[in-house]
Every structure is written in C-alpha cells, then in structure tokens.
Amino acid sequence: MYTISQLARMFHLSRSTILYYDSIGLLKPDERTNKNYRLYQPRSVKKLEMICELRNTGLSLKSIKQIISNRKAEKDSALQERLHAINQEINTLRKQQQVIVSMLQRKDPARNMRYVSREQWVKFLRTAGLDDKGLYKLHVTFETSSPEGHQDFLESIGLSEKEIKQIRDASKEGLPPEKT
C-alpha cells in the first residue's frame, strides 16, 4: 500500500493534484488508515501512471476519466481523435509559419517601382535618345557593371522570372568576347 506522499513523489505530482483527482472521482484511494489517511494499492498506482500518460497527450481530465472507465476500443478511438486534433493544430501552425516567413522575405515595398511599367521605361528611354541598339547596350552594360543591380531593376519594374532570365542571358551574350 502506498500513501499519497509516496505517489506524489513517484510521479512528480503535488499532493494537492492527487487530492483533486480524488475529489473529481478520477483516482479514489483504496483504503483509509485509522487516522483517515488515504492508501493506494498497486493497481491504483498503475491507474495513476495511465492518467499521467494520457495527461501528457493533452487530453482533458474529463476525457481521461471517460477513457479509463471504458474499454480499450473506446480508449483507442479517443486517442485517435486527439491525434487528429493535434495534426490539425500542427497544420494550422504550419500555415501561419509559412505566412510569417513569406512576410519576412518580401522585399521592402518602397523598392518597387509600382508606377512605372516596362513599356513606359522603353518609351522614356527612347525619348531620351536611345534606339534599339542603345537599349540593348544599356542591358549589356548594366549586366557587366552590376549583375545584381540589373536583376533588382528588372524585378522592380514587374518582370517575371522567365522574362528576367531571357533578358539577362541575352545581355551576357553581348559581353565583349574574351581576347584570343
């Protein structure tokens, strides 16, 4: 037979927790001493072990009470339900995690030239006196002097990844050939 203090030590619980389990009818003492102290038999120790285990899965005391008074099949289905709920919580958290990551990765909106389209750039540059050859040379020079800046500029005027790659590849081809 075990006293309440022994049980508390065994499972790292406080005495008041075990008293509470008694008060809600989850774990009743098997006997009382003549001084009215609670005493527990080994099967109650096993039961408390099970209670602690189920508590670690996040189940409420109310569910635990139902589970341990029921048969195994019912216990399993309660556990499966809990597992399902946990999986859904994980999915929700994962989605929130993705949103946060993409928020942090998003570039500073001030660096986007939202008001200037690619067509407008071409038009303005032509008006400034650049012809097709000049525009091409601009890309080639940009790619040579500052590849990252070129990429950043093309992104900022709203070109797709594919378009950017095409332009940059063509610009690289225009690099002065290596001396032979």
Partner 1 sequence: MGAVTVEEWINLFKAVGLSDEDMKKWHRLFEDRNPEGHLSFLKWLGLPAEKIEEARSL
List contacts with partner 1 (CB under 8 A): 107, 110-116, 120, 124-125, 127-130, 134, 137-138, 141-142, 145-153, 156
The least CB distance from residue 98 to partner 1, in Å, is 22
Residue (63 or 151) nearer to partner 1, CB: 151
Residue (76 or 163) nearer to partner 1, CB: 163
Residue (37 or 124) nearer to partner 1, CB: 124
Phi-psi domain of 40 (left: phi exceeds 0; alpha: psi -120 through 50; beta: other) = beta
Which residue, chain included where needed, has tokens 């992104």? Answer: 155
The least CB distance from residue 107 to partner 1, in Å, is 7
**Quick check: helix, strand or coil at residue 171?**
helix
The least CB distance from residue 103 to partner 1, in Å, is 16
Residue type for position 1: M
Q: Are 108 and 98 in contact (CB under 8 A)?
A: no
Residue (76 or 152) nearer to partner 1, CB: 152
Residue type for position 179: K
Q: Are 27 and 2 in contact (CB under 8 A)?
A: no
**Quick check: helix, strand or coil at residue 131?**
coil
The least CB distance from residue 177 to partner 1, in Å, is 18
Residue type for position 162: K
CB-based contacts of 168, cutoff 8 Å, min separation 6: 143, 147, 150, 151, 154
The least CB distance from residue 174 to partner 1, in Å, is 12
Residue (74 or 152) nearer to partner 1, CB: 152
